[in-house]
Structure formats: C-alpha cells, structure tokens
Amino acid sequence: MHRFLVLLLLTALLAPVALLLPRAPASDGVIFATAARQWRAQADAGDSEAQYRLGQMHDLGVGVPLDPVLAAKWYGDAANQGHVAALSALGVLYARGRGVPRSDSQAAVWFARGAAARDPVAEYNVGVMYETGRGLPQAPSEAAFWYSRAAHTGVAAAQNNLAGLYARGAGVPLDLARAHLWFSQAAAQGHDRARQNRDALAEQMSHDEIRQAQTLLRAWRLYQQGQFPDA
C-alpha cells in the first residue's frame, strides 16, 4: 500500500498562459475598445493573431462585451489557421461548455492539435484528459508522457500532476524522490497545491529518500543550465 495519499492531486484544465489582455481597470476601457476596433478589422481580413486577440477580449470582457459565443467564433477562426494558443483556448471552451456545447471529445481534438504543435498548455491539458478519462481513454502512462513534456517547459500544474503520478506509481514507477522533485519545482513557482503535496510527502519519506530527492534537485538545476542529462 502506498504510504502517501496525494492531498490535492489534479489541477483543472488550463487556459493558455500569458494572456495578452489581462483584466484591466475601467479607466483603460477606451484603450482596449480602440484596440478591439483595430483587431476587428485585421481579424475580418483573416489575420489569425488578431482573431485570437479578439477572441480573448470577448472571453475576458475587456474592451468589448463579455461574449463566450463570439470568443469561440474568433478562437475557432484562428485555430483553423493553426494559431497555437487559439487551439488550446478553443479546447478549454469545449471542455467547459462556454460559448459552445460542452464536449470533452471536441476539447480533446483541439488540445491534441495544440500538443502536436508543442504548446505546453495543450500538452498539459491532454495529460489531464488521459488521467481523468475525459474525452480520451483513461491511460496514466499517456498522462505521464504529456505531463512530462509540459513539466519540462515549466508548467507548474503539469509538474504537480506528474509528481502525483510518481507518488502513486500510476503510469510510472513509484518514486517518492522524483515526486518530491516535481512537487518542489511547482511549489517554487507558487503552486499552492504542490506545496501542500510536497510537505505531506516529505513527512512520509525516509532519510534516504530525502537525500535522493536532494540529489535529484541538484541534478535538475544542472539540467536547467544545460549541464546534466534529463531529470
């Protein structure tokens, strides 16, 4: 029996990171409204980046009315041109049923296209769907593969979930030291669930396992500097 029960293992599906248009104070509304008019003209002309940005604005309600249906329309136009962030954004709308009928299978299609383009957010979301069996067959080993790809590019939620698989031996060999490493990496980015998981795990680890985790952490730091093989 495993000695460690992951407290808060799974993080929800992510929208694309580094949104270009975060929520803005009301005083900035004129600026965003002007930008929306400019992007609308470009989007109508077929510019995928403008389509994606306009989708974000309707998704967030910044500079334009909040309208998930229009967000899905513009994300879809951009995604159909191969805009990588739009692929994940549209997948999230399908997964949540915002602006489109909820469909895990459709979400999986868009996430898979984003993952094929090496979008870390899409890779993470594919991992979630494989782990939970939403839209894809439940397959922990596939979840581990996609989490690992996203984790190595710094997606904290992927690091947390990959650590959880190692802590449970689900889809990967049971490895508490490696679980501690990935929980630590996510916690260092401010991921609160990972911090709780790491601390709970550490209480159950032996001194040898703690030393192994510290060795892995040093190796990982060297790897990040291009000086050591993959952690």
111: nearest Cα among 152, 69, 142, 154: 142
Domain boundaries, the chain: 50-117
Report the share of the chain in percent with pLDDT over 90: 71
Per DSSP, 230 falls in state: -
> Of 10 and 165, which is predicted with more confidence?
165
Distance, CA of 113 to CA of 150 (rounded, Å) = 15
Helices (H), 133-175: 140-152, 156-168
180 and 198 Cβ atoms separated by less than 8 Å = yes
pLDDT 10s digits, 186-211: 999 999 999 999 999 999 899 998 89
Distance, CA of 162 to CA of 222 (rounded, Å) = 20
- Sequence-separated (6 or more) residues with CB below 8 Å from residue 49: 42, 78, 83
Secondary structure (3-state) at 17: coil
pLDDT averaged over the chain?
A: 86
Distance, CA of 227 to CA of 230 (rounded, Å) = 10
Distance, CA of 92 to CA of 86 (rounded, Å) = 10
pLDDT 10s digits, 129-180: 999 999 999 999 999 999 999 999 999 999 999 999 999 999 999 999 999 9
Helix or strand (DSSP H, E) at 42: helix 29-44
pLDDT the model gives residue 1: 39
Q: For residues 6-25, give the mean pLDDT.
A: 47
The packing angle between helices 176-188 and 192-204, to 10°, is: 150
Distance, CA of 228 to CA of 68 (rounded, Å) = 45
CATH code at 50-117: 1.25.40.10
125 and 13 Cβ atoms separated by less than 8 Å = yes
pLDDT 10s digits, 24-45: 434 456 678 888 889 999 999 9
- 158 phi and psi, to 5 degrees? -70, -40
Residue for token pair 């790491």: 198
Q: Which two tokens stand for residue 216?
A: 């892995």
55 and 69 Cβ atoms separated by less than 8 Å = no
**Extended strands (E) in the chain:** none
